[in-house]
Amino acid sequence: MGKLAVLSLSVAALAVLIGERVITLRHLSLYYRELTQNYLPNCHHIEGIECGAEDITILENGLAFLSTCVKHPDLPSYSDDPGKIYTLNLLDSELKIKMIVNEPKCNSQVEIFRFVEDENALQYIKTIKHELLHNVNDIVAVGTESFYATNDHYFTNGILKFVEPFLSLPWCDVVYYSPQTVQVVAGGFLLANGINISTDKRHLYVADLLKHKIVVLKIQKNTVLSHVKEVDVGSLCDNIEVDRESGDLWLGCHPNGRNWLLQDPNDPPGSEVIRIENILSEKPKVTQVYADDGSVIIASSVATPYGGKLLIGTVYQKALICDLK
């Protein structure tokens, strides 16, 4: 009876632990969140983008770079095409996209290219690999060959990658890379996703997706980061773009983790765009700019404004352009 009692207690304790973890994971993933539609005027899909624009960056002259066709075994695929980078001139009334490079299939590594504007081409410079860059999600450049990068998992093994969020292990980090120095400069993230830098180059912004927060970090002279504050956004935010004029943050977010996990084509993942104004002030203003249940655009991952327009990219479906109110 003694052994049976111990076994029974062990099974009961394990069941309680698993139950508590499932409840916690559902909370972290906003599993039960309901989304109310919130549209912008004059939205339309960008012609030629059929397999997502997971990240978008716009230069000062209105030239946008769109990273498309992310491939992942757990995600739907709308195209057999390999990853590509397109350009889109937002000052061109016809909004025609141009492909400038195919992205090779790769593991966790960083590719450096030089943009040759006259030829609308990317010139390959080098590939960077390092043991600390083991699960790179996003980077922000601070020099020709130096950058900060987020690792969105601690482990590289697939099963252990699942264990991390299941046990709420805050083991994700930010790494600084330069040809002279490579080091972890910030940690404690549940899932470190998008990263970007303030217009004055003094602060970094990191999306801690499962905490529903944007973490503000100050850049020290030795490139190490000090924690400043965290801003609640109430969504699973992916990439961060910074308005070079106002300094506002624009976030492409996943509003509901249930739909993301299930990937049901009849109830697809929705999309949400959030703007943060005056993030360094005592009371930053957090505003939902756009929201859709997946009927227009599925799984938004980035949003960036330019000239009264807003570009919204997705992980694997389409890209949208709207007028800002």
Is 55 annotated to bind ligand?
yes
Of 98, 207, 101, 79, nearest in space to 150 by CA: 207
Counting every residue written for the chain, the total comes to 325
Residue with tokens 């805050």: 170
DSSP state at residue 277: E
Residues 6+ apart with CB under 8 A from 128: 109, 110, 111, 112, 145, 177
Is 173 annotated to bind ligand?
no
Tokens of 311: 């570009």
- Positive or negative torsion for Cα 307, 138, 148, 153: positive
How far is the C-alpha of 250 from the C-alpha of 305, rounded, in Å?
A: 8
Is 138 annotated to bind ligand?
yes
Is 259 annotated to bind ligand?
no
| Alpha carbon separation from 56 to 49, 130, 158, 217, 291 (Å, rounded) | 12, 25, 28, 23, 18
Is 137 annotated to bind ligand?
yes
Q: 195 - beta bridge partners? A: 206
How far is the C-alpha of 272 from the C-alpha of 23, rounded, in Å?
A: 24
Q: Which residues are annotated as a binding site for Ca(2+)?
A: 54-55, 137-138, 193, 238-239
Q: Which residues are annotated as a binding site?
A: 54-55, 137-138, 193, 238-239
